[in-house]
Amino acid sequence: MGKVLAGMTMSLDGFVNDRNGSVDCLYPDLEALRKTDMLQELIRTTGAVVMGRHAYDMAEGDLTGYEFQVPIFVLTHYVPEQPPKGQNDRLSVIFVTDGIESAVRRAKAAAGDLDVTMIGGADTISQCIQAGLVDELQIGIRPVLLGSGLQLFEHVVAEPLELELTRLFELPDAIYLRFRVVK
């Protein structure tokens, strides 16, 4: 069975969006990011995605052309009225209203031997860390100081979490650190 990988890109001062909720300065060139070996490897090893509702809403329910062509489990309090766009024989969207444990359990079943990748947001990742469901963290750091916004680990109230650095990806505009959660 694969592992659960959670992560996001943040500013050097720890924010995953700016004071207006924008992530534009953290992802200045999505097309270039999609072409990196790091993201291509992540796509190849991902069998299912767990996504927070805010991340889903940022796409306005349209996953047409989304890089992860796998089942996507959206953690939410309610199912939107409009069906998602972009579903096909590989990409399906399942709304999960009964908690992070259920979303991860269902995603693991769908992923089989591949990994479950958590794609935002900060609250979803925090819930997963607090529930002890994360096997690895991948944190991207962009060389920008935002000064305020949403912090990735602001609401993590778990016991201290020991991490072991396992990989380092250097891209022209960011570094990505991969950590194994020591259990």
Asked whether residue 180 is domain-assigned, the answer is no
Q: Is residue 39 part of a domain?
A: yes
Number of domains in the chain: 1
Separation in Å, CA 36 to CA 43, 50, 77, 164, 174: 11, 22, 34, 24, 12
Question: C-alpha dihedral over 170, 133, 56, 145, to 10 degrees?
Answer: -40
What range defines the domain where residue 137 resides? 4-174
In a domain, 116, yes or no: yes
Residue listed under structure tokens 């992530």: 23
pLDDT in tens, 86-102: 999 999 999 999 999 99
Residue 46's Cβ-side half-sphere holds a number of Cα atoms within 13 Å equal to 24
**166 occurs within a structural domain:** yes
In a domain, 181, yes or no: no
Task: Give the tens place of pLDDT for each residue, 58-74.
Answer: 888 999 888 999 999 99
Query: What local confidence, expressed as pLDDT, does residue 85 receive?
Result: 94
Could you give the CA distance from residue 65 to residue 33 in angstroms, rounded to a whole number? Answer: 15
* Residue 34 pLDDT class (50, 70, 90 cuts): confident
pLDDT at 172: 87
CATH of the domain at 91: 3.40.430.10
Q: What is the mean pLDDT of the chain?
A: 92
Answer yes or no: is pLDDT of 155 > 90: no
pLDDT score at 182: 93
CA–CA distance, 50 with 32 (Å, rounded to integer): 23
**Residue 31, in any domain of the structure:** yes
Question: CA angle 174-179-183, nearest 5°?
Answer: 160
What single-letter DSSP state applies at residue 83? P
Short-list 136, 133, 146, 123, CA closest to 176: 136
What is the predicted pLDDT for the residue at 158?
61
Q: What is the pTM of this model?
A: 0.93
The answer to whether residue 139 is domain-embedded is yes
Task: Let me know if residue 135 belongs to a domain.
Answer: yes
The token duo for 152 is 């990735």
Cα gap 150→152, rounded to integer Å: 6
pLDDT at 44: 96
